[in-house]
Amino acid sequence: MRSRTIGVSVLTTTALFGLTTACAPVGGSKAADIGRAARAAAPASAGATPPPAAKGKGAGKGGMLADLSGAEILSQAHEAMRKVESARVVAKMHDGGNPVEFELSLDKKGSCNGAIRYEGMGKVDIVKSTELIHFKGDADYWRGTAAKKHTPKKQTDAMVTMLADRWLKMPLTDARASAMGHICDLDKLTGGGDRPNPLARKGETVTIDGKQALAVTTAAKEGTETDYIATQGTPYVLKSTVSGDETGEVLFSGFGTPVDTNLPEGADVLDLSKLGGEVPAESV
């Protein structure tokens, strides 16, 4: 079975550095150009249409979860997670030895709202609707961006002054946004991957965020993965961990809750589509 924690690691790394290479002003773009760009564009992101509440196979069908085999429990959990229309995902892990944290509410329409924190690259807030993407990096993010591009200190300081803690936006139709299309991929995080391993083994019943969950352990390429499946109501995966060569954990909650894609009132927004010059759009 594909590890959900490794899937999150890939998303966060490519998302963060995709933003870095796609949107950092380079080449002919200077701080003065940014200063002359339109400021305070009105927040245009519309709220996501509320998705219907997720409906998975009831834990009681075919017997209580505790009466099923580990593979049968995972099969029900995978089916339930595939039907999830929206969810909140919180992850902590190490990617290439570097700590990374991920906190997003996202849905199958591609909308999301949350933040990514990556050691050495600061924090990036993201709000993505079906039409627009907004992101806001802190000073550490932009300094990390400049370091990655070997930008001189004077230009780095100017970029941080102009862009740190400020919302930037672009329409998804902008070619530069193509590198960021994968940021809010709910299917990658909730998909069941391969069929459950018949050797999956049931463990103890624990409490995850106030809810009872049954642990099911499976051997994975990265080590040992443990999924914690809700024992009451829909058998969602409430938590997934992996230990071994790679380590980490992912928490799932807020199933079926609409994603808020509105920016804070009065947010200062720089419209990147109004900036001239060429910027690279490759992902790292």
pLDDT in tens, 207-255: 999 999 999 999 877 689 999 999 999 999 999 998 877 778 999 999 9
The pLDDT of residue 107: 94
Predicted TM-score (pTM) of the model is 0.76
Q: Residue 192's pLDDT is what?
A: 56
Amino acid sitting at position 27: G
Q: Is the pLDDT of residue 120 over 50?
A: yes
Query: Residue 54 above 80 pLDDT?
Result: no
Q: What are the tens digits of pLDDT across the range 6-22?
A: 445 444 444 444 554 44
pLDDT digits (tens, 9 = 90+) for 91-104: 888 766 778 888 99
Which domains, ranges and CATH numbers included, belong to the chain? 4-47+65-274 (2.50.20.20)
Report residue 244: phi and psi, to 5°. Answer: 140, -135
